[in-house]
A and B are shown apart, each in its own frame.
Chain A
Amino acid sequence: MKGIQRYVNVTEIVRPIGHLLAFSVGSAALMSAIVIVLALILDRTVVGADLMDRYNVSLYTYTMINLPQVVIDGLTIGFVYAAIALGYTMVYGVLEFINFAHSEIFAVGAFVGVELLIALDATGVLAGATLGMAYAYLIMALLAGMLAAGGLAMAVERVAYRPLRGASRLVPLISAIGVSFLLQDLIRLVESLTTGQFNRIMPTFGNFDQRIILGKLNMGASNITLGISIKSIIVIAAAVLMLVALNYLVNATRIGKAMRAVAQDRGTASLMGINVNRIISITFLVGGLLGGAAGVLFALKFTRIDPFVGFFPGLKAFTAAVLGGIGNLTGALLGGLVLGMLETFAGSFMGVFTMGAAGSEYKDIFAFSILILVLIFRPQGLMGKHVGQKA
């Protein structure tokens, strides 16, 4: 039995939300516990003294005051990774192959969405938009990004993977890497045609940049405001919605049933009257839709995109998918959240804990160390089940 589980149940819509809550709270609690213990230990050493000198607070106080904001930031980026990881996992679950071109499908989604908004911005409608209209435009951009990315994913599958269906596993992987480079340069080419410049800026409109203040904390001489921006809330809400919809599709619809059948055994599924190629196309379509939406959300949250924008988030999302158990939808979510949390915690606290010797620049080390550790000690991932070689 492959990663995509085989139970059909109405609770499938509610269950992932429960998982999400458990994972969010669990990863936040675990990471917080680690830094609090570290802070207590290091507080009595030279690190604490250094911090007293710089900020006028003890290391423990510093950690406690900064913790809530770090958790919020970690969850937000975690949901972005999870949204991308869902696309990797979908394709892996059905085909058992890692679609490395997913990073660029994500980037194409981001570019199409942002270009649409830039075009709208040029006509002036964004500047004068009411709040309702601003959200309508954002949804339009999301849909455009999703459709373009979904279509592209299907096309890539048709052109670069389907002809290699019978080949050994390494072949489509290499083909995927090739497609990935090709798409990067295609985006570069298309985006530089008119302006000679390929980086794009998400226009500012609506109230997305606004920050909701949740509280104020005093630390030494400075006040720290705890808050979450509207766009972070949008990112989280969209990612949750995507997961719920995907769970429903896979576990409670006929197409989902066909997907699971293809995942289990392609040959037998085709004997049962399932059009395997069509189901695989749909899988890529869905993976692309998710990737495209994640791309637009990424641009919304982080403002600036370029043709290589997919590379690092894609690599992190892949790590997240492997961490959670590739092929497993819930696992992708768990992996994304854990990775986002870990990275944000490491980046936020490492500089202070090491007295500036190793700053946030080393945060990526944690993500990729995890990839290596998981592959060595638990190759099936946190949520995955061990499977034998597929016939």
Chain B
Amino acid sequence: MSTASGAADKTIKIATQSPLSGDQSVVGVDIKRGAELALEQLGGPLADMGFKIELAPYDDQANPDTGVANAKRIVADPAILAIVGHYNSGVQIPSSEVYHASGLANVSPANTNPKVTTRGYLEVSRIVGRDDVQGVVGADFAASQGVKTVFVVHDKTAYGQGIAEFFKQRAEEIGLKVLGFEGTEEKANFDALLSPVVAGNPDVVYFGGMAFQAAVLFKQARERGYEGMFLSDDGFDSSDAAKIAGAALTSGAGTYYSTVSGPASVYEGTAKFIEDFKAKFNADPQPFAAQGYDSMAICLKAIENAAKEANNDVPTREAVAKAVRALKDFQGITGTFTFNEIGDPEKALYFVIQVKSPDPAKWSENVVVKTLEIAPPK
């Protein structure tokens, strides 16, 4: 692959940032794996142009401080021209301030908080929907199930609290009674929090946040005799939820979650991806793995376009960021992407999914009960 000008000059790196260790690594590792697969399969055109392309995976540990520290290391490496990440909005928002300052393109496979794009940074784009729509989808779904009362709990992060607030707002608009709205950072002992929940016996307990907390809360609620429905968000979409809560998810009125990322199998273009993923990593792809693949594909295509404009030389970061936004009808495996002026996809898919089995190995068999295609709010 080396050329006359020397391989070192023509090396391009694309970074990923996602939680590779800790509570949320189940999903975070697969975002990286999805990106890795895309780099292998779609790196051809850039390699033909004489570039050596490399993946630079970073572990943000789902922690804003770590994400920002990594971001500083990333922008300091001139070979890095784009970033796939993050998983958590609470990490993406501060980290992308660093990317913005140095003009580095960031394509997000999973971040749903409105602020990710509403800051209007040229460098930041995402390929999934937004919480101000997702919260509405959740509340509307609850109402469609004949629900009258809800109790809302969130994890006090930018993501969890954000979506819980949109859910609550919509629930009140459409006439559901909100019995309570509580934030918690607790990971183990939800007894105290559950007292007012069980006392109100709401038809739905909504949790805005991640699976590792939600599942413990749901399990303890069932233990205290709560029989109503559980509803959560795309943070709940991890087989860890079933590992923690098991049968508590399928008993009573069951468990549902809204998400911006359906199981890989619901998308038309993902059959080959699932096959290749299984062959390479010997496991089913977790949620957002396919989005990791698509985000990487977008970065590669944008770098290719920018490099062509630069006469087959290494493009500038600014050119890459512009090239991402300029893509029209980019054909990914989870959809066709065109970005609007702030970096949201012009139309995004939203799903409501029902948990079907308490067995974590069967998480990918959860059933999509509702699919919506909605444009981002103006």
Contacts and interface: CB of A to CB of B under 8 A. Distances in A.
A303 B247 CA distance: 14
Contacts of A219: 199
Interface stretch (B91-99, B187-195, B297-305, B313-321): B187-195
Q: Which of A55, A197, A352 has the most CB of B within 10 A?
A: A197
Interface in B185-239: 185-189, 191-193, 195-196, 198-201, 212, 216, 219, 223-225
B21 interface: yes
B45 interface: no
B348 interface: no
Interface stretch (A36-44, A61-69, A87-95, A141-149): A61-69
A196 B20 contact: yes
B175 to A, nearest CB: 15
A298 interface: yes
Given A73-B191, A209-B223, A65 B199 contact: yes
B184 interface: yes
B68 to A, nearest CB: 20
Given A55-B200, A211-B223, A309-B188, A196 B182 contact: no
Given A197-B25, A221-B201, A359-B182, A346 B192 contact: yes
A363 interface: yes
A297 to B, nearest CB: 12
Nearest to A67: B195
B184 A303 contact: no
Contacts of A104: none
A181 interface: no
Contacts of A349: 195
B192 A348 contact: yes
Contact of A224 (B23, B185, B199): B199
Contacts, number: 118
B224 A227 contact: yes
B219 A303 contact: yes
B25 A196 contact: yes
A204 B359 CA distance: 12
Given A73-B191, A201-B244, A306-B23, A66 B185 contact: no
B180 interface: yes
B188 A351 contact: no
A123 interface: no
Contacts of A175: none
A302 B212 CA distance: 12
Given A223-B201, A302-B216, A348 B196 contact: yes
A356 interface: yes
A349 B243 CA distance: 31
Contacts of B187: 304, 306, 309
A180 interface: no
Contacts of A221: 201
A343 interface: yes
29 contacts: A55-B199, A55-B200, A66-B199, A70-B192, A73-B192, A192-B21, A196-B20, A196-B21, A197-B22, A197-B25, A199-B240, A204-B247, A219-B199, A221-B201, A222-B201, A224-B198, A225-B225, A298-B188, A344-B191, A348-B195, A349-B195, A356-B182, A359-B180, A359-B183, A359-B184, A360-B182, A360-B186, A361-B184, A361-B186
Interface of B: 20-23, 25-26, 29, 156, 177, 179-189, 191-193, 195-196, 198-201, 212, 216, 219, 223-225, 240, 243-244, 246-247
Q: Which 8 A-B pairs have the closest CB atoms?
A: A347-B192, A222-B201, A348-B195, A302-B188, A73-B191, A359-B182, A225-B225, A360-B193
Interface of A: 54-55, 62, 65-66, 69-70, 73, 76-77, 188, 192, 196-199, 201, 204, 209, 211, 213, 219, 221-225, 227, 229, 298, 301-304, 306, 309, 343-344, 346-349, 351-352, 356, 359-361, 363
Given A201-B243, A359-B182, A360-B182, 6 more contacts: A62-B199, A211-B224, A222-B200, A304-B187, A360-B184, A361-B186
